[in-house]
Amino acid sequence: MRTFQAPQHWLRHLDADVVSRLLATAADVVLVLDGHGTIRDVASAGNAAFTEDWIDRRWIDTVTGDSRPKIEALLEGARDPQPRWRQVNHPVADDNADVPISYCVLPLDPTGRLIAVGRDLRGTASLQQQLVDIQQSLERDYWQLREAEARYRVLFEVESGPVLVVDAQSRRIQDANPAAVEHLGGGRGRLAGQAFPRGFDASSQRRLERLIETVTATGRREAVDIRREADGAAFRVSASLLRQQRGAVLLVHLTPAGNSAGGGETDTRQQLVQLVENAPDAVLITDPDGIILHANHSFLDLVGLTHLDQARQQSLDCWLGRQSVDLEIILASLRRHGSLRRYPTTLRSAHGGSVKVEVSACTAPDGGRRLYGVFVRHVDKRVGSNKSELPPEAGHPRSAEQMTELVGQVPLKELVRESTGLIERLCIQAALRLTGDNRAAAAALLGLSRQSLYVKMRRYGLMDTEPPE
């Protein structure tokens, strides 16, 4: 510790008030002690309210049990040429945490009185605790990452089909599993860093380049058929895009044609998956709560999404016309009957538009859990639909069959209003037939004035000629 070189010269005129203010300003806690270690006066910062009842108490009684030996050491070493700083903890009744204070004790005058200068370490302790918490969090994340990497590595190694990890930007192979090394040759160490595609005939090379461009641009999984240049062996190559913080990689699967006894069934399954992906109707797979697990390209087009990740793990309810109503009806029907046919509703797009659709669904067990397959058909462009959509005011009231199909699509009030118009039109037509198209007699038969009959006939498009004046 370095002290003033000439304190007698510079500080001899200081009075007690100035000294007390200097000490209170320079330290967080200042104690005046008698020769027996009893606190006679206290000065503390605004955040040191725990010192309020310390006057006339023994200093050693204000600290925790493990800090008492430190207080004794501070009192004993007060007159040493080089005083030491020691951290002690003060208990606080209203808080579970102790208050750490670092003290240094100095002699005050020849009578044996002492002064203890303390620095509040709570800020430092808080920063240390935050550092410890961050370190523990980093360690947990590190080990989780190591475990995930180990699982990935095991799956990557035991995968029976060739798999390559390709950098999407440089198009160089980053990693290859043993099956890929076996089929592509060159050794694992030599494959890493090589440009992809390589080792295939010219037309296959072009198809693979287009495949990479398409998958990188759209994020959709695509597949092509290729042949190896050396021996003409056929492969089915599919690629998926995995986005990472520092770029993206392509996960490339190569499936040799007829590589096992069960290859026919595998090919059929793959073809079925491809058919679902390319189906003109929207196809989704959801869990029992309606959370989307997979959706084909047609669904993404209907709702205006560009990537499957934008729909995955989202509720189907987000896009159905009547939120919480349509999904509950669909799920209840699937739980009760196991299937649903042609449920009419609307589908909202991400851009605010909507289209009329029919929803069919079925259940499919997947091990111990149940999955739902949902099929959505766009019916806005169906032939004949425009005629059924014309309002009664245009002269085309709906038929009874059309009215029945609207149950669940429009509110009951609108259905009742259109049903009333349908009944009026049928009654007027029947009255005209019974009276041989005599409008005066038809009006009397219906209990209407002729003017009211003419108004209703005009509304429903039944006025072939204007009535005589």
Closest by Cα among 173, 372, 373, 397 to 282: 373
Q: Where in the chain is the domain with CATH 1.10.10?
A: 388-459
pLDDT beneath 70, residues of the chain: 1-5, 9, 13, 46-48, 95-96, 186-189, 258-270, 365-368, 380-411, 414, 464-469
d(C-alpha 204, C-alpha 230), whole Å = 13
The structural architecture, per CATH, of the domain 159-258 is: 2-Layer Sandwich (3.30)
Q: Does domain 7-120 have CATH number 3.50.50.60?
A: no
Q: Which residues contact 317 (CB under 8 A, 6 or more apart)?
A: 290, 323, 324, 326, 327
d(C-alpha 324, C-alpha 319), whole Å = 10
User: What does the pLDDT read at residue 122?
Assistant: 86
User: What does the pLDDT read at residue 401?
Assistant: 60
User: What does the pLDDT read at residue 262?
Assistant: 45
Is the backbone peptide bond immediately before 397 cis, with ω within 30 degrees of 0? no
Give me the sign of the Cα torsion angle 188, 193, 199, 203: positive
Separation in Å, CA 463 to CA 60, 82, 439, 448, 456: 110, 117, 11, 16, 9
User: What does the pLDDT read at residue 438?
Assistant: 85
Alpha carbon 81 to chain centroid, angstroms = 64
- CATH number listed for the domain at residues 276-378: 3.30.450.20
User: What does the pLDDT read at residue 69?
Assistant: 93
Total number of residues shown for the chain = 469
Backbone angles phi, psi at 352, to 5 degrees: 100, -10
User: What does the pLDDT read at residue 317?
Assistant: 85
Q: What is the pLDDT of residues 265-276, one digit of tens each?
A: 555 666 777 788
Average pLDDT of the chain, as a whole number: 80
Q: What is the pLDDT of residues 181-217, one digit of tens each?
A: 877 776 556 777 888 887 788 888 888 888 888 888 8
Q: Where in the chain is the domain with CATH 3.30.450.20?
A: 7-120, 159-258, 276-378
Separation in Å, CA 380 to CA 347, 350, 384, 411: 11, 18, 10, 19
May I ask the CATH class of domain 388-459? mainly alpha
